[in-house]
């Protein structure tokens, strides 16, 4: 299946553009002929992610915290709001920053889109479904989120961001879209950001034990970053308001993932059980019927292939620490 939808943009603002997903989005938009302004405060992003883009015509970097505003000089026709810590280790370390980026930052990004008459896309998350009681999760499911648990700073910020985006569309007529991303992985993740793929790959390559949380039976559905970027841009091009799930429908347990990464990396690492994080969701898998039907989108990169590419990148990239 190929994604049918494309649309050309003149100038896209990507908040969080120096992060993992944001830097791939910036590159894809430049490839498609758009000028791109990346707004990032480098709280969890890395200069290395965008240093190759700095030399490309049409790319501008604005170092700013979106909670204080988006100092963008040229009017955009697309605003992709991707700024937010995303790794549990990062948002547990930055709880207030995460809440403020999801609230004040989202408000500022929406206001820029509205005043520019630009299309707005909010990077929401499968975390809005919390520890789900419906499986797989479709967009009509309201979720099961602990509002005072440690993960709430992220899950509730995303839920608030969705409510704010909806209210902006309803009351101001802003052209908005909500994409709910599920676990995405690939090159440019920080090896130490704590998320499962970079953690396991780094450990496997170093011959260290793989730290599997609990009994490892909890599942995630892993989407390669190129597929996620294609899905986000298809949703941007479509007039849909969403929310729409963008993620892989192929589910894997964390124990099986650890074994697969050890095998693909040709490693002799062992498995070491470690404590399971509080409120760690037991299952997570998107129903992507809506994305398939409306956007003609589904992931194309199988897990083995995507993991091989990620392993190769971590093996070769000296900055991936």
Q: Does 223 bind ligand UDP (CB under 6 A)?
A: no
Q: Interface with ligand NAD includes 123 (CB under 6 A)? A: yes
Angle 146-282-189 from CA coordinates, rounded to 5°? 90
- Report yes or no: 203 and 269 within 8 Å, Cβ to Cβ: yes
Query: Which C-beta is closer to ligand NAD: that of 9 or that of 185?
Result: 185
Which of 91, 129, 154, 185 is an active site residue? Answer: 154
Site for ligand NAD in 168-187 (CB under 6 A): 181, 183-184
Contact flag: residue 146 with ligand UDP (CB under 6 A): no
The answer to the question of residue 23 lying near ligand UDP (CB under 6 A) is no
Taking CB within 5 to 8 Å according to partner kind, which of ligand NAD, ligand UDP, none is near residue 42?
A: ligand NAD
Please tell me whether residue 157 binds ligand UDP under the rule CB under 6 A: no
Q: Which of residues 243-302 bind ligand NAD (CB under 6 A)?
A: none
Q: Does 190 bind ligand UDP (CB under 6 A)?
A: no
List the single partner that 3 binds among ligand NAD, ligand UDP, none, CB under 5 to 8 Å by kind. none
Taking CB under 6 A as the rule, does residue 254 contact ligand UDP?
Answer: yes
Tell whether residue 165 is a contact of ligand NAD (CB under 6 A): no
Q: How far apart are the C-alpha atoms of 251 and 270, rounded to whole Å?
A: 23
Q: In what order do the strands lie in the sheet with 175-181?
A: 59-63, 35-40, 11-15, 78-81, 119-125, 175-181, 244-246
Active site annotation includes 154: yes
CA distances from residue 192 to 123, 220, 264 in whole angstroms, order as listed: 22, 19, 20
Does residue 104 touch ligand UDP according to CB under 6 A?
A: no
Which of 14, 10, 11 has its CA nearest to residue 229? Answer: 14
Q: Does 306 bind ligand UDP (CB under 6 A)?
A: no
Q: Which of 3, 9, 19, 137 binds ligand NAD (CB under 6 A)?
A: 19
196 binds ligand UDP (CB under 6 A): yes
Q: Which residue has the tokens 């899950």?
A: 155
Using CB under 6 A, count the residues that bind ligand UDP: 15
Shortest reach from residue 88's CB to ligand UDP, in Å: 5
Smallest distance from the beta carbon of 186 to ligand NAD, in angstroms? 9
As a whole number of angstroms, the distance between CA 256 and CA 134 comes to: 23
Site size toward ligand NAD (CB under 6 A) is 30
Output 20 or 297, the one with its CB closest to ligand UDP.
Answer: 20
Task: Tell me how far CA of residue 320 lies from CA of 47, 155, 182, 193, 269, in angstroms.
Answer: 12, 27, 22, 10, 20
- Restricted to residues 82-101, the positions that interact with ligand NAD (CB under 6 A) are 82-86, 90, 101
Residue ranges that bind ligand NAD, judged by CB under 6 A: 15-16, 18-22, 39-45, 65-67, 82-86, 90, 101, 105, 123, 125, 181, 183-184
Chain contacts with ligand UDP (rule: CB under 6 A) = 88, 183, 194-196, 199, 211-213, 218, 220, 254, 276-277, 280
Q: Which are the catalytic amino acids?
A: 154
């Amino acid at each position: 299946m190929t994604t049918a939808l494309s649309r050309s943009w003149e100038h896209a603002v990507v908040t969080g553009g120096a992060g993992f997903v944001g830097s791939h989005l910036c590159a894809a938009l430049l490839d498609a002929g758009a000028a791109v302004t990346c707004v990032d405060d480098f709280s969890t992003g890395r200069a290395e992610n965008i240093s190759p883009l700095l030399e490309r015509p049409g790319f501008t970097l604005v170092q700013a915290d979106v909670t204080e505003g988006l100092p963008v000089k040229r009017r955009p026709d697309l605003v992709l709001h991707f700024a937010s810590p995303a790794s549990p280790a990062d948002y547990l370390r930055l709880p207030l920053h995460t809440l403020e980026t999801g609230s004040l930052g989202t408000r500022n990004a929406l206001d820029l889109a509205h005043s520019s008459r630009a299309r707005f896309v909010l990077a929401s998350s499968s975390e809005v479904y919390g520890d789900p009681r419906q499986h797989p999760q479709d967009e009509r499911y309201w979720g099961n989120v602990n509002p005072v648990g440690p993960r709430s700073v992220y899950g509730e910020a995303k839920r608030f961001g969705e409510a704010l985006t909806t209210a902006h569309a309803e009351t101001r007529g802003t052209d908005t879209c909500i994409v709910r991303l599920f676990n995405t992985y690939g090159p440019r993740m920080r090896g130490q950001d704590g998320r499962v793929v970079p953690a396991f790959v780094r450990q496997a390559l170093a011959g260290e034990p793989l730290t599997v949380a609990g009994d490892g039976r909890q599942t995630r559905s892993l989407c390669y970053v190129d597929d996620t970027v294609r899905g986000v841009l298809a949703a941007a091009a479509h007039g849909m308001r969403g929310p729409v799930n963008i993620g892989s429908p192929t589910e894997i347990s964390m124990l099986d993932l650890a074994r697969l990464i050890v095998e693909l990396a040709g490693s002799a690492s062992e498995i070491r059980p470690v404590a399971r994080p509080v409120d760690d969701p037991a299952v997570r898998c998107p129903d992507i019927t809506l994305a398939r039907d409306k956007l003609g989108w589904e992931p194309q990169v199988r897990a083995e292939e995507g993991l091989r590419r990620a392993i190769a990148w971590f093996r070769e990239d000296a900055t991936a620490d």
